[in-house]
Amino acid sequence: MTDAQETAADSSLRTTGGAPPDEGVTGVSVEGTPTPLLEPRDGIPPVVADPDALAQVIAAFAAGTGPVAVDAERASGYRYGQRAYLVQLRREGAGSALIDPVACPDLSGLGEALAGAEWVLHAATQDLPCLREIGMVPSAVFDTELAGRLAGFPRVGLGAMVESVLGYVLEKGHSAVDWSTRPLPEPWLRYAALDVELLVDLRDALEKELDRQGKLEWAREEFDAIASAPPAPPRKDPWRRTSGMHKVRRRRQLAVVRELWTARDRIAQRRDVSPGKVLSDGAIVEAALSLPPNVHALTALPGFGHRMGRRQLEQWQAAVERAKALPDAELPQPGQAVAGPPPPRSWADRDPAAAARLSAARAAVSALAEQLGMPQENLITPDTVRRVCWEPPGDLSADSVAGALAAHGARPWQITQVTPVLARALTTPAP
């Protein structure tokens, strides 16, 4: 048994998901009650919204020391896309900063000033794309959410982590507001500043916990993978992700979904609003199922009621008519071509031996994840397990299984942990 397995087997750890640090920042009172964190220690910093103020922040943070806490606020559900509408930072020697990326859209100078520092983010993969758009790309990352998952914490939201590890309660009431609002209200700015107030302290505590569990090198491999990951490629056929698509079966109906989705996306992008505020997914699906012959029939469908103007209705009906007029050869095919194995529900009929391998592999990975005190998907991705079980290596040796895992993007620590149990599972005979 490895050090990590021995530590994860500790019942108290598995119950609490880790222990608060023995030293450093803690807000737990003598009675053990978490302390509300109501104000940033240096007050709410002014919002940086001009080149001179930005230059001062860049100089201050370049002169700072240690890791830099970074966060970004988006306007999901309000605006088109996932751009950043506020960037928050904190670093020892520089204090905190709030930057308006609408007024200062090019933050590449700040990104360059911080290039050699470790960036501490919570759920880094959510914020890195919008930070990249404004010129901020880290060379090193510490993800406190991912660290919490690897350490076995049952709740890994920032508020839950700060409370359980550091003993402070963060006010989270403004997480879903419209951050494109200008000027930003003071309570929102206070909330934003507090999000980075203790992020480096949380990082330090989690590093100690991961080291105690023998998982620190695993976490570093994960963080390196996040920092070095290229931008995600554009999604193919994004219209197929329309909610309720499972109801749409016929190719002509699929064409209606595609036309309405494309028209909605074009309008939403032009108006810079969330596509759902232009037309709901439910309305798109209803129109596809009904194939309305005219505007009057369209108006009767859910989502196209009396509040919608005649001009809007006509543009949606025009999209429906375009789909109805397509020749059969141009209609989309049902389903979506997916590289890799078929859905697991079909394995028993198509390849019973593969189904047996997958069942054994899932059970083995689940048991190992439990033993190590972390979610299965962080131990090894379910997609990787499916791919290896569907097309296993020829000789099923440990080296071959390790090579197959590496080919699918598994990190070295994952390969070391998973290879023995997966190699055994792959030799499971079919029932």
pLDDT along the chain (431 residues), means of 10: 45 35 46 85 97 98 98 96 97 98 98 96 97 97 98 96 95 86 96 97 98 98 96 92 95 98 97 96 97 96 87 96 97 78 92 94 97 97 96 93 97 98 85 60
Q: Does domain 35-228 have CATH number 3.30.420.10?
A: yes
pLDDT at 232: 87
CA distance 429 to 242: 40
pLDDT of residue 431: 60
Closest CA to 392 of 403, 382, 379: 403
- The fourth-level CATH superfamily of domain 344-427 is HRDC domain (1.10.150.80)
Phi, psi of 43 (to 5 degrees): 85, 175
Output the pLDDT for position 429: 66
Q: How far apart are CA 403 and CA 419, in angstroms?
A: 9
Which CATH architecture describes the domain 238-325? Answer: Orthogonal Bundle (1.10)
Q: pLDDT tens digit string along 380-431?
A: 999 999 999 999 998 899 999 999 999 999 999 999 999 999 999 998 766 6
Domains 35-228 and 344-427 share a fold: no
**What residue spans define the domains of the chain?**
35-228, 238-325, 344-427
**CB within 8 Å of 60: residues ≥ 6 apart:** 93, 94, 95, 97
